[in-house]
Amino acid sequence: MADETRQSERYSGISRRGFLKGVGTGAAATGLLTTIEPSTAEAARTKSQGPGAMKLSLKVNGQVHRTEAEPRHVLLDVLRQNLDITGPKPICERGACGGCTVLVDGEPVYSCMMLAIDVVGKEITTVEGLADGEKLDPVQEAFIEHDALMCGFCTPGFLMSVRALIDRNPNPSLDDVKEAVAGNTCRCGTYPRVFEAALKAAKITRGEA
Ligand code: FES
Ligand code: FES
69 Cβ contact partners less than 8 Å away, ≥ 6 residues apart = 53, 54, 56, 77, 78, 82, 116, 117
Which residues have C-beta atoms less than 6 Å from ligand 2? 149-154, 186-188, 190
Nearest ligand for residue 159 CA = 2
Cα-to-centroid distance, 191 and ligand 2 (Å): 9
Mean pLDDT in runs of 10 for the chain (209 residues)? 43 39 36 44 66 95 98 98 98 98 98 98 98 97 98 98 98 98 98 98 96
- 175 in any annotated domain: yes
Q: Whose CA is nearest to atom 1 of ligand 1?
A: 93
In the DSSP assignment, the letter for residue 78 is I
68 Cβ contact partners less than 8 Å away, ≥ 6 residues apart = 53, 54, 55, 56, 82
Domain residues for the domain of 188 are 130-209
Residue 99 CB less than 6 A away from ligand 1:
yes
| The pLDDT of residue 6 | 45
- 81 in any annotated domain: no
> Of 97, 147, 187, which is best to mutate to test ligand 2, by the most ligand atoms within 8 angstroms of its C-beta?
187
| The pLDDT of residue 7 | 41
66 Cβ contact partners less than 8 Å away, ≥ 6 residues apart = 55, 56, 57
| The pLDDT of residue 134 | 96
- 85 in any annotated domain: no
| The pLDDT of residue 195 | 98
- 176 in any annotated domain: yes
- 19 in any annotated domain: yes
| The pLDDT of residue 45 | 63
Across-strand partners of 104? 107, 124
- 116 in any annotated domain: no
Q: Whose CA is nearest to atom 3 of ligand 1?
A: 95
- 52 in any annotated domain: no
Mutual orientation of helices 155-168 and 191-206 as an angle, nearest 10°?
40
- Residue 142: alpha-carbon gap to chain centroid: 30
| The pLDDT of residue 59 | 98
- 66 in any annotated domain: no
Given a contact cutoff of 8 angstroms between Cβ atoms, the answer to whether 149 and 138 are in contact is no
| The pLDDT of residue 1 | 43
Q: Where are the alpha helices (DSSP H) in 13-154?
A: 16-45, 75-77, 138-145
Q: How many domains does the chain have?
A: 2
> Of 75, 93, 155, which is best to mutate to test ligand 1, by the most ligand atoms within 8 angstroms of its C-beta?
93
The count of other CB atoms within 10 Å of the CB of residue 98 is: 24
Given a contact cutoff of 8 angstroms between Cβ atoms, the answer to whether 23 and 43 are in contact is no
Q: What is the ipTM score, two decimals? A: 0.99
Across-strand partners of 110? 101
